[in-house]
Chains A and B, each alone.
Chain A
Amino acid sequence: MIEVKHLVKTYPARGGILKQKPVQAVKGVSFVLPDAGAVAFIGESGCGKTTIGRILTGLESYDSGEVLYDGVNLTRLPSAERREKLRKVQLIQQDPYAALNPSRTIAKTLMAPLALEAKRQQKSKAWMASRAREVLALVGLNPEVVLPKYPHMLSGGQRQRVVIARALTVEPDVLVADEAVSMIDVSLRLGILSLLLELRNKHGIAILFITHDVAAARYVGQDGRVCVIYQGEVVEEGVTDDLIQSPVHPYSQALLSAVPVLRGLEAPGPDRYIPLGEFQQDEGTACRFAPRCRYAEERCRTEKPRTVPYGNGGHRHRCHFPVARRVVAEPLEVNS
């Protein structure tokens, strides 16, 4: 279980002649990722969702707040122990091609972490070899075909499966999937998503799913929670299907409206709307979304909304004027 409390991360100003302002990427984010659970962070590029994933996997430090792994704050542990704990949280990156070393075969890529694991568990070389085959089979690849290959010889979907197999070599408790399917052919995405779902259901691996694609998040974590993040702040969170069916924050509504509607099979939601313009990152209003919000009023520009519950299903939001709207598409009856 991972508990995150009031996480804050600021990237320092870049030095040099052109001084840039420090960028606050994450502004007080809290959430809980239960064992074998699923939490999805959805938002646009640059909203801070990637930073959260990198902090959880130990690739990035944080300024304040707390991250508890099974109740332990790792910053207080000696570095060897910290590394040991962090190994159980594996990152699945967006670009599977960059995530694999182009000059090493899949066999070598898998054997390196397995050698460490074998040393730790006093296992033999033969164990390593059979384990390499096991993890590849687990992600739906044929070990004998894939092992001797270099990454460039595989398709995007196969590469991402190899990346997941490599993460599985250390028997992780948590996978952080950062846009893990966005660079893969749409036809192959569902295969990866169902693999992640299977790892959750059969192997009890919790998944933190970072994405801009709400439908993908729903597939992996229908029973989990969704946090909608805007400019480093969680603006709305709730149980996945609850939030998808009745979002109350206008930004969640915009994101959900943006999911393509399969015309002919689905009808667009009655309240669907899509903001067309491009906006400045920070226009200094109290509610950060106000400049893009079609429902914004004067109060939104002057008074910062606080996180408050909506109903009693653990649904929370950060909006002065919450109204549940139906923005997502609805399935049509099709007689073929």
Chain B
Amino acid sequence: MTARTPKNNAAPQIPPIHGESFLRMSWRVIKAKPTRVIGLVIIVVFALMGIFGPLLYPHNLPINPNAIYAPPSLRYPLGTDFEGTSNLALVITGARYVLFAALMAALFTVVFGTGIGLLSGYLIGTTDTVLMRITDFILTIPGFPLLVVLSTVWNFGQPVAMGFVLGITGWGGLARAVRSQTLSLRERGFIEAARGLGLPGWHIVFFEILPNMGPYIAMNLLVSITGAIYAEVGLFYLGVVPFHVNNWGVMLNLAVFTGGAMESAKALPYLLSPLVAILLLTLGVVLFLDALDEIFNPRLREAA
């Protein structure tokens, strides 16, 4: 067994060894396979794009009447749109809305889903019944049509609003899954032992049960991010949500319905730029997912 050897603690009053830190361990797991590193790099690049992207360009992107629907070139690496604006600039500045809304949606999904699932599964009884009826109700709401309807009365200019609506309709499945796992975990010996030792309920829920669902929840977080991206880009593409800001969905919509990218090759770079961005991000998520299981599951992590 090649467990990490504790640093030498000569004096017994030094607190027990905490092993290696979570970050260091995660990095060790990620770098074990190059694909995981690639996944992480892609995710980080997109995250940076979302945070700093709009700062790299003026508020109103420059237009160029002489380079409308220009093909990719040195000056316009991804070509231009109907006004001669660089597609690269559009993809970069448009990332913030898309990614922020998706992150919000995923956070809502995971926090609500996990929280309600844990509570329901741990407390059982009446709480469980009530929470699960609410969950069933949420599960029956068709999220996408609801968004279409809501968009007629609600201004989705703020990504938080978009994220909130996507998240609030999406946590039902996760809550059900977390609940059933909690129900089986609470019967396990170590939970009974924790109760017998007089450990408080919050400790049992958050420190004994929750870590055992770590891989599942982290995976859900990433998968909900990509899911939310598809959903919002879809909404903009369909044009059911008014455009306020530049984003990938708006680009797709304009490329197809205004630029005629389906018929002429001219607007093709305009259509493909956001699509490639989405594909790349999904690829990054998929590559990275593989590392999560090991990060959260000590049995798989046995030092290689």
Interface residues of B in 1-56 (CB under 8 A from A): 1, 3-4, 6, 9, 12-19
Contact B196 A125 (CB under 8 A): no
Residues in B whose Cβ lies below 8 Å from that of A170: 197-198
Residue from A83, A84, A98, A152 in contact with B188 in the complex, judged by beta carbons closer than 8 Å = A98
- Report B297 CB to chain A, min CB distance, Å: 7
Q: Which of A1-9, A128-136, A247-255, A311-319 contacts B (4 or more CB under 8 A)?
A: A128-136
B15 contacts A91, CB within 8 Å?
A: no
Q: How many residues of B contact A (CB 8 A)?
A: 35
Docked complex: B270-304 residues within 8 A CB-CB of A: 296-299, 302
- The smallest beta-carbon distance between A114 and chain B, in angstroms, is 10
Contact B196 A59 (CB under 8 A): yes
A104 at interface by CB-CB < 8 Å: yes
Q: Are B13 and A59 in contact (CB under 8 A)?
A: no
Q: Shortest distance in angstroms between B13's beta carbon and chain A's nearest beta carbon?
A: 4
When C-beta atoms are compared, the residue in chain B nearest to A57 turns out to be B196
Q: Which residue of A lies closest to B188 (CB)?
A: A98
- Whole-angstrom CA separation of A147 from B208 in the bound complex: 17
Q: Name the contact of A130 in the complex, choosing from B3, B13, B17 (C-beta under 8 A).
A: B13
Give complex CA distance A89, B195 in Å: 12
Contact B15 A128 (CB under 8 A): yes
Shortest Cβ distance from A309 into chain B, in angstroms? 36
Partner of B196, one of A91, A95, A110, A147: A91
- Report if B58 contacts A (CB, 8 A): no
Tell me, rounded to whole Å, the shortest Cβ–Cβ distance linking A208 to chain B.
14
Residue ID in chain A nearest B207 by CB atoms: A112
- On chain A, the residues within 8 Å of B299 by CB distance are 102, 150, 152
Return the CB mask of A84-105 against B: 1 if under 8 Å, else 0. 1011011101010011111111
The answer to whether B193 has its CB under 8 Å from any CB of chain A is yes
- Does B297 contact A103, Cβ atoms closer than 8 Å? yes
The answer to whether A99 touches B16 (Cβ under 8 A) is: no
Q: Is the CB of B189 within 8 A of A112?
A: no
Q: In the complex, what distance in Å separates the CA atom of A107 from the CA atom of B15?
A: 10
State whether the Cβ of A13 lies closer than 8 Å to any Cβ in chain B.
no
The 7 closest A-B pairs by CB, nearest first: A98-B189, A99-B189, A126-B13, A103-B211, A107-B16, A113-B197, A150-B298
| B interface residues, Cβ below 8 angstroms from A | 1, 3-4, 6, 9, 12-19, 188-190, 192-199, 203, 207-208, 211-212, 214, 296-299, 302
Of the A-B pairs whose beta carbons lie under 8 Å apart in the complex, a sample of 7, sorted by A's number, is: A86-B196, A89-B196, A99-B190, A100-B190, A103-B296, A112-B199, A132-B16
